[in-house]
Structure 1
Amino acid sequence: MKSSVRAWALACLLTVATPALLAQQALPGDYIVAVVNSEPITFQELNIEVRRVSQQLTQQGQAAPAPEELRRLVLERMINDKAQLQLAREQGIRMDATAIDRAEQNVASQNGVDVLALRQKLAKDGVTVQSFRDGLRDQLTLSRLHEREVESSIKVSDVDVDRVIQEQQANNTDPFAQELNLAQILIVVPEKANGEEAAALFVKAQRVLQRARDGEDFNKLVQEFSAADRNNGGQIGLRRGDRLPPSFVTATQNLKVGEVSEVVRTGAGFHILKLVERKAPTRLVQTVVQTRARHILLRNSPQLSQAQAIARLADARQQIVSGKTDFASMARKMSQDSSAEQGGDLGWASPGMFVPEFEEAMNRLQDEGAISPPVVSRFGVHLIQLVDKRRVELSPQQIRESVRAQLRQSRYEEAYTAWARDVRARAFVEMREAPQ
């Protein structure tokens, strides 16, 4: 986990329901509570931020610290942020309008609205567009500074990677990495079977399962009932978990050798599985789920607003779902992406290949052929259809890079805390009391 202080600051980007980034105008009776390298923090600014953080914690269901402790923590974070922003300016880190536009677009997308609606919501909460964009600029600047100063300082050696790989291999309990030998009894469900016929076959499978659990010879039951290969007692043979149907692995992952699973339903019918053998992996194996999807992209332009694009894609989705057309045909007809000629097909994609807002919406689709509602990203508005998912094995080099990334992440908080403490120590900070 990264520093809670940094995460707290970045959370500002997603908070639009509270007066988070009000214009900082002195009110009667306002006064300075701290000075950071000649830049002041006022009592009013601190109060606004304390209220914002308190409301945010309430919305997240977290208990807030005692009022005085909360004020102390918020003030310390504001001092740290101000000192770090000053350092960023000294190093020439600047955020251009395009980066801020993208950040504003992302916040709108996270809240399910377009930028215009976001600004209207902010205005109702007393937040000006300029102060909100200034807040986005500051948070983006801090992120860039942290990348340069903290992330670049974290070193992970090949020895560190080798040690973790050895530990992970010794403790690997991932059922998809283990080698399994399963014996099965398959009771076929005909493709055109109706609900009543399928239910009768399920009852039959349950009876066979009970006989197996009562101690009847599994091989005998295979010969009597199974429509699959009956040789060698219906054994599939020793295979790694990721090369078996996922439902088989899930159904047997908690079984001991010799035990029998619950009835498993697949497209072929009902399966009863017996765990014959389980072997730990002989080398570290990591797998990822790849996704194949189609999409339709409409780009924002003076001729097509975001709201209009959302409406057009919502209509397209309705036509596809109702069966009036198919996704590929609609993509060829209206998508403004280079994938349009391929019916919007994006090919197989590993995690992290798409921008987060697109990938999150794609990952929420579970069933083959499922279609998302319109999704806003920095590129425009998308309609996404899930084509298929598969689990693939990472190469040895990919595993090493994955472990290296895990180590860098695990060391981030300590590195950030030490760096932030150093920046704070080098800053001139004067704390001031309330005027009498």
Structure 2
Amino acid sequence: MNHRVFALALATLASMSMQGAAAQGLRPSGASPSGKSGLSAPSSPSARPPAAPSITLPAPGAGAASRSADFIVAVVNSEPVTNYEVRSRLARAEAQLAKQGGAMPPRDLLAREVLERIIVEKVQLQQARESGIKVDDMAVAQAEQGVARQNDMTVEQLYARLGRDGMSRERFREELRNQLLQQRLREREVEARVKVTDLDVDQYLREEQKGTDPTAMEINLGHVLVLVPENASPVQVAERQARAQRAADKVRAGEDFAAVAREFSDAAEGQRAGGLLGLRPADRYPELFVNSTLGLPVGSIVGPVRSPAGFHVLKVVERVTAGMPATVVQNHARHILLRTGPQLSETAAATRLADYRRRVLAGQADFAALAREHSQDGSAKDGGDLGWASPGRYVPEFEQALDTLKPGEISEPLVSRFGVHLVQLLERREAKLTQREQREMARGAVREKKLDEAYATWAQELRGRAYVEYREPPQ
């Protein structure tokens, strides 16, 4: 099958497995550079924008799949995975792939990958529960609101849509709670593994200047594919390679790439788009394509290069490298933080903070005085004042709250991994970043990349320790 299509399918499934967790999408904890707050990443702001609350809504009718003749397809540490679970998730994956466009991978292959994702999630949920991690109703409600905002709906409209698609409120909330459990487990287990050194930051900045860091690039490639049939004889392989070489020679001689693609390419985009694959993040391209064109200037021709599908000729049509911004919009905020635990639930903390908010808005109390008296954050002594902050300094839900506020406004209580906050935006300004601030943003970007790598390793280790018994194949 087309390896680019399968790579897209895998990326879609991976994003689906992470999206619900991104309903909290929390950043690493630690002290801010000023030492005032436990809201920042330990090494600084991230260069990536905070993830919005996110979950893939079911495809229309996906939840209405019949449960008749349901059966167990796998057992994960004594917990069953049913065929219905796989079918429901598969319907969502297919709907999302269809929405993105392009060819669909074989259904049985996609179903096996969906099953493996479910197994990984169950292993993590079991680990989270064994570790005593809990998610309060307050956090689930906050995630509900985030999903509704992401889909431009109210919570009531969200559940009306879900109801039409056969998904109950209870089931959706259970999915949200499970995804938040996974996220909190990842935060606790993975973040301690990640360290970012000055050498890492130096390397990142050098690669960015050269345009050789795939995670910081968007590229548009021209593509000619000469297919090689399965079980092709050496003579057939040589003939197909010679055809690809003729295409490459014509392009290098100055012929129009689109014309060459229409003449030689067996890929759909060869006829439809003159061989252009379109500007997209480099991680959405096959690794072979990225590695073959890495660091080459626009206009370069590569190939023929061989893949299991055949021989490829590539042209670097466009490259956009994400640079450090010269100016950003900064927020000046203050907050009151109540840390949660056995003695104070998230719901109880939110109730207390809602009362503080009511008193401040009614003119019966002063925000700074309440922060000095009640906040359990290092900023309490300064009346909760966090100073000026660039994008990426705080955990996403904190930043999302700030983005919705106008100067002087106070948020509703919000949950983060640190506890429950009441946030007031004091001022907003556009500011030019200093060299140190730009370097700190680069440090955050390196940390995000390392967290992704550390998570992949940890998840693989956790999966490897699980007992998994496969029963019947999903249908």
User: Could you tell me the TM-score, scaled by structure 2's length?
Assistant: 0.47
Q: Which amino acid aligns with 1:93?
A: I
Match of 2:182 in 1: 142
Q: Is the 8 A contact 1:23 1:128 kept in 2?
A: no
Q: What is aligned with 2:17?
A: 9
CA distance 1:149–1:5, change in 2 (3 Å) = farther
The 1:422/1:36 distance shift into structure 2, 3 A limit, reads: same
- Alignment CA distance shift 1:130-1:77 (3 Å): same
Tell me how far apart the structure 1 counterparts of residues 138 and 185 of structure 2 sit (CA, whole Å).
Answer: 18
Q: 1:69 aligns with which of 89, 109, 115?
A: 109
1:157-196 CA-to-partner distances (Å, cap 9, x unmatched) read: 2332344456667889xxxxxxxxxxxxxxxxxxxxxxxx
Shift in Å, 1:148: 1.7
**In the alignment, which residue of structure 2 is the partner of 1:431?**
470
SS of 1:40's equivalent in the other structure is strand
How far apart are the structure 1 equivalents of 2:468 and 2:69? 22
Map of 1:36 onto structure 2: 76
- State the AA in 2 paired with 1:416: Y
How do 1:83-94 residues align onto structure 2 when only pairs under 5 Å count?
83-94=123-134
Cα distance in 1 for residues equivalent to 2:366 and 2:390:
20
Rounded to whole Å, the distance in 2 between the matches of 1:143 and 1:290 is: 28
Q: Does residue 79 of structure 1 match 2:119?
A: yes
Selected match of 2:164 from 121, 124, 128: 124
C-alpha deviation, 1:420, in angstroms: 1.4
Deviations 1:199-257 (A, max 9, x none): xxxxxxxxxxxxxxxxxxxxxxxxxxxxxxxxxxxxxxxxxxxxxxxxxxxxxxxxxxx
1:401 maps to 2:440: yes
Deviations 1:292-343 (A, max 9, x none): 799xxxxxxxxxxxxxxxxxxxxxxxxxxxxxxxxxxxxx999x9979xxxx
Range 410-419 or range 89-98, more displaced: 410-419
**Per-residue deviation at 1:113?**
2.2
1:80–1:420 Cα contact (<8 Å) kept? yes
Residue identity matched to 2:159: R
Q: Distance in 1 between matches of 2:177 and 2:98?
A: 26
Paired AA for residue 407 in structure 1 = V
**Corresponding letter in the other structure for 1:10:** M
Of the three residues 187, 191, 195, the one matched with 1:155 is 195
> Judging changes above 3 Å, is the alpha-carbon distance between structure 1 residues 285 and 55 closer, same or farther for their aligned structure 2 residues?
closer
Q: Within 2, Cα distance between the matches of 1:59 and 1:167?
A: 34
Equivalent of 2:329 in 290, 295, 302: 290
CA distance in 2 between counterparts of 1:433 and 1:285 reads: 51
Number of aligned residues: 270
Q: How many Å apart are 1:111 and its aligned residue? A: 1.9
Q: Secondary structure, in 3 states, of the residue corresponding to 2:457?
A: helix
Partner of 1:102: 142
1:50 lines up with 2:90 in the alignment:
yes
The alpha-carbon distance between structure 1 residues 377 and 288, as it changes in their structure 2 partners (threshold 3 A), is farther
1:125–1:146 CA distance, 2 compared to 1 (3 A)? same
The 8 Å contact of residues 62 and 91 in structure 2, kept in 1 or not, is answered as: no
Q: Is the 8 A contact 2:55 2:147 kept in 1?
A: yes
Unaligned 5+ segments in structure 1 are 173-283, 295-331, 340-345, 363-370, 380-386
Deviation string 1:89-142 (CA, Å, 9 cap, x unpaired) is: 111111111111100111112222222222222112111111100000011111
Whole-angstrom CA distance in 2 between matches of 1:79 and 1:410: 25
Letter in 2 for 1:8: M
Pairwise CA distance, 1:406: 1.5
Counterpart in 2 of 1:319? none
Q: Structure 1 CA distance, aligned partners of 2:157 and 2:325? A: 43
Q: CA RMSD in A?
A: 4.7
| Equivalent residue letter for 2:75 | V
Q: Percent identity?
A: 38
Higher relative contact order (CA 8 A, sep 6+): 2
- Residue type of the alignment partner of 1:432: R
Whether 1:18 and 2:59 are equivalent positions in the alignment is yes
Residue 413 (structure 1) shift: 3.2
Cα displacement (A) at 1:65: 1.8
Shift in alpha-carbon separation, 1:168–1:58, aligned structure 2, 3 A: closer
Say which SS state the counterpart of residue 69 (structure 1) adopts: helix
SS at match of 2:472: coil
